[in-house]
Amino acid sequence: MNSAATEDIVIVGAGIVGICAAAFLAEAGRSVTVIDRTGICEETSSGNAAAFAFSDVLPLAHKGMIRQLPKWLADPLGPLSIPPAYLPKLLPWLWRFWRAGSAERYEGALAAQASLMKLAEAEWMGLMDRSGTRKMLREDGSLELYESEAEFSASLPGWAARDRFGIKYSHVAGDELAALQPGLSPRFVRATFAPSWKTVADPKLLGKAVWAYAESRGAQFLQGDVGLVVRSRDKVAVQLRSGRTIMARRLVVAAGAWSHLLARHFGDRIPLETERGYNTTLSKTAFDVKRQLIFSGHGFVITPLETGLRIGGAVELGGLARAPNYDRSKAMLEKAKKFLPGLDPSGGREWMGYRPSLPDSLPVVGAAAAVPNVFYAFGHGHLGLTQAAATGRLIRDMVLGQTPAIDLKPFSAQRF
């Protein structure tokens, strides 16, 4: 490619969503160039909790988070943290989040999320088969743990909502709970086992393998930091900070937590915030964890990976510029030691990533308001890995001018 090259399709962002979109488009015979400042799945997609959370259909605003906010915010290292200096900037987003939790918005948000999850599972299974990555799938289910009967009872309406979508689960206690995860602290009196919950061997390795498949179908990668995107007649000019400009007949914005900054150039102002997530990855031998363990009351999970034992989650609504606060990783590790007596905490690798989050927990998947050859694929929050293949399929449908597999109105950039 020369400095004035015109490309058919340019995707900004080589996280899991961008490379799934590249794979679907390359399969359709389209010429695709993916641009990223670092590499394939080297940033937020490299350190997530590795879950295919297809049964996680409840938007965050309906999970009791609003009820928990005062308690959580009182603990600076708890499940949700907002640096005081950032709160004024965050208030408009929090207002939208509060409104998203209203009863009249519940049904629409639940149905939209469920439709995307159903598509996500089907498209991931197909893509894994075609890309030879099915061997990286783990179908062990998940175990959500409760420390009291009251906490368990509070979870029941959310599980009942899943009944309407055919999501299987079973509530367990006593010996049944101990068999699903030996060695747990006795503080956990109840749990819910979700057999359809899946994880992957390692999210970074899966992303790189899917990219290798896309590359085998003709997709190309260009390392570069995109500084500006602007409409130029019937094309889009993609300007790199290095000074190079690439013309794109079609542009897909899949730049995660930075995507809304690019969307502004096309007239779309999208209330995207950054959920900074933390984790620590220990040795594989740190504890024999059988399946992903979910500590919803504490806002984190423990996942057994091919590459280690990952302890992470929590939410810090702190934007893109603040330095990481790894005390949050340490706090989760301290809790994990209490929840799994005998856990070896030595030699852990700490990490922080930026989850792109919208107030209603639904991503933006659709065309720009004023530029029909620009498509958005971002804002998946905690569910980027889970929903990546569905998003890739929907981007392909739109680019090819086909009817999208599901109704895209709930995911429109203009819904705000």
Q: What is the CATH number of the domain that holds 409?
A: 3.50.50.60
**pLDDT band for position 4 (50/70/90)?**
low
Q: Distance (Å, rounded) from C-alpha 239 to C-alpha 245? A: 4
Q: Is residue 278 part of a domain?
A: no
Q: Is residue 183 part of a domain?
A: no
Q: Using CA atoms in the order 355, 360, 363, 366, what is the torsion angle rounded to 10 degrees?
A: -150
Q: Distance (Å, rounded) from C-alpha 390 to C-alpha 245? A: 30
pLDDT at 74 over 80: no
Q: Is residue 328 part of a domain?
A: no
Spatial neighbors of 408 by CB under 8 A, at least 6 apart, are 365, 366, 394, 398
Q: Using an 8 Å Cβ cutoff, are 275 and 315 in contact? A: yes
User: Of 166 and 219, which is predicted with more confidence?
Assistant: 219
pTM: 0.94
Q: Using an 8 Å Cβ cutoff, are 9 and 220 in contact? A: no
Q: Using an 8 Å Cβ cutoff, are 131 and 210 in contact? A: yes
Helix or strand run (H / E) with residue 318: none
Domain count along the chain? 1
End-to-end CA separation in angstroms for the chain? 38
pLDDT at 2 over 60: no
Dump strand ranges (E) for 14-90. Answer: 32-36, 51-52, 80-81
Averaged over 126-139, what is the pLDDT?
A: 98
CA distances (Å), 183 to each of 20, 155, 176, 199, 325, in order? 38, 24, 13, 21, 30
Please give the pLDDT value at position 75. 77
Identify the sign of the CA torsion 136, 137, 139, 145.
positive
**pLDDT band for position 71 (50/70/90)?**
confident
Identify the burial level of 74 via C-beta atoms within 10 angstroms of its C-beta, where 0-12 means exposed, 13-18 middle and 19 or more buried. Answer: exposed
**pLDDT band for position 212 (50/70/90)?**
very high
Whole-number average pLDDT of the chain = 94
Averaged over 123-144, what is the pLDDT?
A: 97
Q: Is residue 321 part of a domain?
A: no
Q: Which of 73-77, 203-207, 389-393 has the lowest mean pLDDT?
A: 73-77
Give the three-state DSSP class for 202. Answer: coil
Q: Using an 8 Å Cβ cutoff, are 123 and 393 in contact? A: yes
Q: Using an 8 Å Cβ cutoff, are 394 and 408 in contact? A: yes
Q: Distance (Å, rounded) from C-alpha 181 to C-alpha 183? A: 6
User: Of 61 and 221, which is predicted with more confidence?
Assistant: 221
Q: What percent of the chain has pLDDT over 90?
A: 84
Q: Distance (Å, rounded) from C-alpha 80 to C-alpha 215? A: 39
Q: Is residue 222 part of a domain?
A: yes
Averaged over 91-108, what is the pLDDT?
A: 88
pLDDT digits (tens, 9 = 90+) for 328-378: 999 999 999 999 999 999 999 999 999 999 999 999 999 999 999 999 999
Q: Distance (Å, rounded) from C-alpha 328 to C-alpha 325? A: 6
Q: Distance (Å, rounded) from C-alpha 142 to C-alpha 128? A: 21
Q: What share of the chain is helix, strand, coil (3-state, %, to 5)?
A: 40, 25, 35
Q: Name residue 16's amino acid.
A: I
pLDDT at 255 over 50: yes
Helices (H), 276-383: 327-339
Sheet holding 198-200, edge to edge: 51-52, 198-200, 137-138
Range of the domain at 243: 1-56+103-136+199-271+358-416
pLDDT digits (tens, 9 = 90+) for 278-310: 999 999 999 999 999 999 989 999 999 999 999
Q: What percent of the chain has pLDDT over 70?
A: 97
Query: Both tokens of residue 234?
Result: 């019937």
Q: Distance (Å, rounded) from C-alpha 279 to C-alpha 349? A: 8
pLDDT at 23 over 60: yes
Interior/surface letters 177-187, b for 16+ CB within 10 angstroms, e for the rest: beebbeebeee
Exposure on the CB side of residue 248, measured as CA atoms within 13 A: 30
User: Of 74 and 378, which is predicted with more confidence?
Assistant: 378
Please give the pLDDT value at position 68. 66
The residues with which 293 forms a beta bridge, in sequence order, are: 143, 302
Helices (H), 181-257: 203-216
User: Angle CA(361)–CA(367)–CA(369) in degrees, nearest 5?
Assistant: 100
Q: Is residue 380 part of a domain?
A: yes
Q: Is residue 215 part of a domain?
A: yes
Please give the pLDDT value at position 16. 98
Averaged over 184-205, what is the pLDDT?
A: 96
The residues with which 246 forms a beta bridge, in sequence order, are: 238
Q: Is residue 80 part of a domain?
A: no
Averaged over 164-193, what is the pLDDT?
A: 96
Averaged over 197-221, what is the pLDDT?
A: 98
User: Of 227 and 105, which is predicted with more confidence?
Assistant: 227
**pLDDT band for position 206 (50/70/90)?**
very high
Please give the pLDDT value at position 315. 85
Please give the pLDDT value at position 100. 86
pLDDT digits (tens, 9 = 90+) for 31-51: 999 999 999 999 999 999 999
Helix or strand run (H / E) with residue 365: strand 364-367
